Structure 1
Amino acid sequence: MSDQPSFARPGKGIAAHFHPPVFYGASAIIFFFLAIGLVFPDRAESIFSSIQSSIISGFGWLYILAVGAFVLAMLYVALSRFGQLKLGPDDAEPEYNYLTWLAMLFAAGMGIGLMFYGVAEPVMHYSSPPVGDGGTVDAARNAMVYTFFHWGFHAWAIYAVVGLSLAYFAYRYNLPLAVRSGLYPIFKNRIYGPIGDAVDIFAIVGTLFGVATSLGLGVMQINAGFNYLFGLPNTTFMQIVLIAVITGMATMSVVTGLDVGIRRLSETNLILAVLLMFFVLFVGPTVFLLGAFPQNLGNYLGHFFERTFTMYAYEPNDWLSDWTLFYWSWWIAWSPFVGMFIARISRGRTVREFVLSVLFIPPLFTFFWMTVFGNSGIALDMGAAAGAIAEEVNADIATALFQFFEYLPGTTIMSGLAILLVTVFFVTSSDSGSLVVETLAAGGREDAPVAARVYWAVLEGVIAALLLLAGGLTALQTMTLISALPFVIVMILLVYGLLKGMNADMARLQPRLGPVAAHPVTELPWTARLNLILNQPQRQDVGRFIKQTAEPALEAVAHEMRERGLDALVAEDRDEGVALTVNSQDVRSFVYGVEPQRHLVAAFTAGDVSRGETKRPHVWWAKTYFGDGSRGYDVMGFTREQIISDILAQYERYQTMMHSHSTALYLTSPDPGQVA
């Protein structure tokens, strides 16, 4: 069985692996917007520009307020009592080591954008600031504040909102790994109907257009690089050819799966990016850059709240819409993609570890990157280039990086490395986005066939290509704004639902509830315990115990509960386990499950330890698990009557807590029984 439940409908072939309303609904919306560019090619750019202006003038304030609120909400969650909660059962452990996890966060988050805007944005803010004169020392200082603002904590707070909501409700409450799951505390079981379908459709559309924007920027830069190095024509046709070639590479990565494809590409990205960054650091104005970094960081933090809520209401200009609002909509459109991706790789981490790592580690690297490239570009433009870099960047933003390399040694080698890095980021973004969209369209399933993954990977490339034909950068920006607008509302609801769900979990842990049993109320006879010690159970022993003892015990309790009017059922769950679920419409359902779980036999010598976990002997447990995420325990060797007694003890605890704190504790909690 899949690790995550889903609401995908049964069927045959590919149809068995997606949720039709979401799959067809998202596809229809995407094809509708693409048709504008195909049917009205001459008017497409003006249509997109008009839509962009309407959204910015009517809803710019919403983007500004919402993103500021997301930053404050994530800081509150991380630093409050909620931070101790785990993304999964209480005893869950992370699947990836910390460095690999951070590499995957960075590579999936902003790779192409860093390459495209690393030199271009600081230089453009320096030459054309929103207020004041360009080309001055003050303009150079403020240019880095603007850049840090757009690429810093605000962007990653947006990702953290979606990622935390998905991971929390999927891994702690066994809900589908879909955006709709984060709205369960608000809409209850209605998330499995049109409301939930609409939410996931918005998430898919936002993801595809957000990724397409990145792919469009990436291929524009790749084309500019090939034009610089080899004289390849810098045209829209050539960019579409490059999209087709690189999308084919991305599709190959998609079919290899998460661990083989994305993990290796993410680690490669980080290595190449660090090499390029340190090269610029050491051959550029090293001492100046090392001094500029803390000063840039201090200026950014000093103007943090001022910049967060600046709307230029008293001095209207196009700068806000061209930069800040575009970025906020881009990050929001990307948030289902990045949020889903980081949720999938973050099981077992605490809420505090997740939020603080996502909120601070990638931005700190980004700040240093922007300092190295941005300050170097500004310094060269003020010195040796004598304004030439700024002139070239304003003429064609895609050429910024390559014009910058002209003033450094090893120009050709560094330009080639930059093209390779952008290409790898392109592939990583495409295959990551395909895996995420596939999960959304499949109702939380992660076992969709290759054809489904290829469909989304190809569609991402098609979207980028058609938008380049329909208006270039303007079309990319406009579709990002359009797709982000409805998802702003969804994200606000995700924050509200997350706080309600976490508050319910924390209420369970309050001391006023009295002692909570962490172990069964029954004990094995000493002879049975001795037998388990001398004959350590293996997988087949636990499987036989679950089938012959645990499952009949659960069936007996379920039968009696049904006789008394309760909606109780027993079903296979997880990995050859079995679970009793007592469904409830208004509160979290009661779940008592038993599953096989492997544990290392204790090592008593240095030789045993040196053998490594894979070569050391293991013992198997018949471990319990519950619907509230609390720790389970081994019931291997229990008799049928003892298991029944333990079930009733846990159910009594459930009833006591429900009646004592139903409003605070269970009223807003999700119902695993509805999605099992």
Structure 2
Amino acid sequence: MKHDDDPTLAPGHDNTQILGLDFHNPVFPLSALAIIAFILYALVYPDAANTQLTATRDWSIEYFDWLFMIAGNLFVILCLVLIVLPLGRIRLGGPNAKPEHSLVSWFSMLFAAGMGIGLMFWSVAEPVAYYTDWYGTPLNTAAGTPEGARAAMGATMFHWGLHPWAIYGVVGLSLAFFAYNRGLPLTLRSAFTPLLGNRVRGWPGHLIDITAVLATIFGLATSLGFGASQAAGGLNYLFDVPNTIGTQVAIIVGVTAVALFSVWRGIDGGVKLFSNINMVIALLLLFVVLTGSTLLFLNGLWDTTLAYASHILPLSNWVGREDTTWYHGWTVFYWAWWISWSPFVGMFIARVSRGRTVREFLTAVLLVPTVVTIVWMSAFGGNALAQSAAGVGELGNGISDVSLAMFQMLEHLPLTTLTSTMAIVLVLVFFVTSSDSGSLVIDSITAGGKVDAPRTQRVFWATLEGVIAGVLLYGGGDKALGALQAGAVATGLPFTIVLLVMCVGLVKSLREEHRDLELAGAT
């Protein structure tokens, strides 16, 4: 049943208008105060903040690894089941809804917001790290062997394939369904209406939205800070630009300035534009890499697919694992990280997906990115492993600096200066799209679900992301950023429970929608 006729459930209900802002009270002020309090704490006591939050993160990973793994597996199963069930014919927005974006632009925005920047950072470093036993090996496979290489590619795909996209998929589908088919505000709390009822309008809903805001902005600021370090490292490696705090802060300022331009123009004039630029540059970079070793790529594409298929079940298991160091340090950490990011990515995906069927939505969010990631990993990870196994260049000695791994791999392929420059530009543009899409999401949450709040609010959140990253990097260095990252990852534990509850409400409501449509003769 729709709720469009209930004014208390309308987007922006109970909003406060002041100084040109239009925000939801108390989500906006409490979120802002909590962010300021945490930043001050991390700056004044960076060591204590890092120690305490890291301990909290490690505790959740060590004692609740089973919960993260079970949840991740359930999300994948649910998404695959929904694709094939008749429920997949339900259209987000109703039977007559039309998509707002073309398939290419839609997919570009999904990928850019989801994990495009992560693939730039880890597609080279991660397989080499596993192959050389940098921090344990998957399933205790012997390092430096052909079996170790297959396990390295299979484990890397496991971390970047179906599981993370399923996490984003269930959140995005829940938010899109309740916003477009039930007429509820586009905020995280709306997905809990089937279970909480009218209580979502009270403090339970406020706490859900505030936690989502904190996890989103801390995750974005952390990525921006560490990404500035990678970009500065690349500039130093290629052009001898000093890799100093000043350079890194300057990169953050530049990225934030471009993000402000993008967020001011909105989705069509900003986010979509830069997402399309991302895809063009990524395709050009992929083309150059493939021309350097086409045969290696073709062989690697098949090997990567087989490695992923053969390792997905053993790596999904949580019982009796003997590779505890690797398992906790990589897989469970990743699952907590993806889950902590899911409110941001899921809500952005929901915002641009009106008019798609459930089947089309999950195919685009789950299956297509997995196929693209196999191609990307086969090209970049495959070249990296080949260089490492042959003892070529810096990667022949293993991982010395994660932020430089991509550039060290490109150094031994054709057109090094061109490809490395493209890689730096791609990193920066990916950060722009993450920042502006994140700002749109946070603005929607703190505006009570409105998607047309004043531009000044979007500018406020985009600016705040850059300020947090720059101030922490300048004032507290890696320890302050590490504390912020640990805090973001620690939210993965409560959000895991939140997502499981969300799935129950989603399935219940999809079944009701399908029954109503059948009765109305619309399916």
Give the structure-2-normalised TM-score: 0.92
Residue 245 of structure 1 pairs with residue 254 of structure 2: yes
Matched with 1:541 is none
| Conserved 8 A contact 1:377-1:389 | yes
Matched with 1:294 is 302
Name the aligned partner's letter for residue 391 of structure 1. N
Report how far residue 189 of structure 1 moved: 1.1
Matched with 2:155 is 146
Matched with 1:662 is none
Distance in 2 between the 1:11 and 1:383 partners? 63
Task: Report the CA distance shift for 1:314/1:348 in structure 2 as closer, same or farther (over 3 A).
Answer: closer
Aligned sequence identity (%):
44
| Conserved 8 A contact 1:205-1:483 | no
Distance in 2 between the 1:310 and 1:407 partners? 39
| Conserved 8 A contact 2:225-2:469 | yes
Report how far residue 218 of structure 1 moved: 1.8
What whole-Å deviation, never above 9, does each CA across 1:256-314 have from its counterpart, x for those lacking one? 11100011111110010011011111112x21211221221122123322212236x44
Residue 55 of structure 1 pairs with residue 63 of structure 2: no
Report how far residue 420 of structure 1 moved: 0.7
Task: Determine which of 408, 412, 422 is the counterpart of 1:407.
Answer: 412
Task: Determine which of 205, 208, 219 is the counterpart of 1:210.
Answer: 219
Task: Report the CA distance shift for 1:32/1:11 in structure 2 as closer, same or farther (over 3 A).
Answer: closer
Name the aligned partner's letter for residue 284 of structure 2. L
Task: Report the CA distance shift for 1:367/1:214 in structure 2 as closer, same or farther (over 3 A).
Answer: farther
Matched with 2:353 is 346
Task: Determine which of 420, 429, 432 is the counterpart of 1:427.
Answer: 432
Report how far residue 463 of structure 1 moved: 3.0
Gaps of 5+ in 1: 519-629, 632-676
| Conserved 8 A contact 1:209-1:333 | no
Report how far residue 342 of structure 1 moved: 1.2
What whole-Å deviation, never above 9, does each CA across 1:141-178 have from its counterpart, x for those lacking one? 11000100000000110010111001111111111111
Name the aligned partner's letter for residue 184 of structure 2. L
Task: Report the CA distance shift for 1:509/1:414 in structure 2 as closer, same or farther (over 3 A).
Answer: closer
Residue 279 of structure 1 pairs with residue 285 of structure 2: no
Distance in 2 between the 1:481 and 1:390 partners? 32
Report how far residue 14 of structure 1 moved: 4.8
Matched with 1:618 is none
Distance in 1 between the 2:437 and 2:163 partners? 22
Distance in 1 between the 2:463 and 2:321 partners? 45
Distance in 1 between the 2:419 and 2:18 partners? 47
Task: Report the CA distance shift for 1:509/1:258 in structure 2 as closer, same or farther (over 3 A).
Answer: closer
Report how far residue 47 of structure 1 moved: 3.0
Counterparts in 2 of 1:382-393, with a 5 A limit? 382-383=389-390, 385=392, 388-389=394-395, 391=397, 393=399
Residue 320 of structure 1 pairs with residue 358 of structure 2: no
What whole-Å deviation, never above 9, does each CA across 1:375-429 have from its counterpart, x for those lacking one? 101101222516x315362x21101011112211222221111111111111110
| Conserved 8 A contact 2:54-2:483 | yes
Q: Secondary structure at the match of 2:11?
A: coil
Instruction: Compare CA radii of gyration and give the structure with the larger one.
Output: 1
Name the aligned partner's letter for residue 226 of structure 1. L
What is the root-mean-square deviation of aligned Cα atoms in Å? 2.1
Greater mean deviation of Cα atoms: 402-411 or 466-475: 466-475
Task: Report the CA distance shift for 1:68/1:111 in structure 2 as closer, same or farther (over 3 A).
Answer: same
Matched with 1:102 is 107
How many residues matched? 509
| Conserved 8 A contact 2:15-2:448 | no
Residue 373 of structure 1 pairs with residue 345 of structure 2: no
Distance in 1 between the 2:510 and 2:204 partners? 22
Q: Secondary structure at the match of 2:115?
A: helix
Matched with 2:271 is 262
| Conserved 8 A contact 2:410-2:419 | yes
Distance in 2 between the 1:337 and 1:36 partners? 24
Task: Determine which of 448, 456, 459 is the counterpart of 2:453.
Answer: 448
Gaps of 5+ in 2: none
Distance in 1 between the 2:113 and 2:19 partners? 27
Task: Determine which of 119, 128, 136 is the counterpart of 1:123.
Answer: 128
Matched with 1:529 is none
**With CA pairs under 8 Å and 6+ residues apart, which has the higher RCO, 1 or 2?**
2
Q: Secondary structure at the match of 2:151?
A: helix
| Conserved 8 A contact 2:66-2:318 | no
Q: Secondary structure at the match of 1:29?
A: helix
Distance in 2 between the 1:431 and 1:7 partners? 21
Q: Secondary structure at the match of 1:12?
A: strand
| Conserved 8 A contact 1:392-1:400 | no
Distance in 2 between the 1:72 and 1:134 partners? 32
Name the aligned partner's letter for residue 122 of structure 1. P
Task: Determine which of 464, 470, 486 is the counterpart of 1:465.
Answer: 470
| Conserved 8 A contact 1:19-1:442 | yes
Compare the two structures and name the one with the higher helix fraction: 2
Distance in 1 between the 2:425 and 2:374 partners? 22
Matched with 1:73 is 78
Q: Secondary structure at the match of 1:488?
A: helix
Distance in 2 between the 1:465 and 1:55 partners? 28
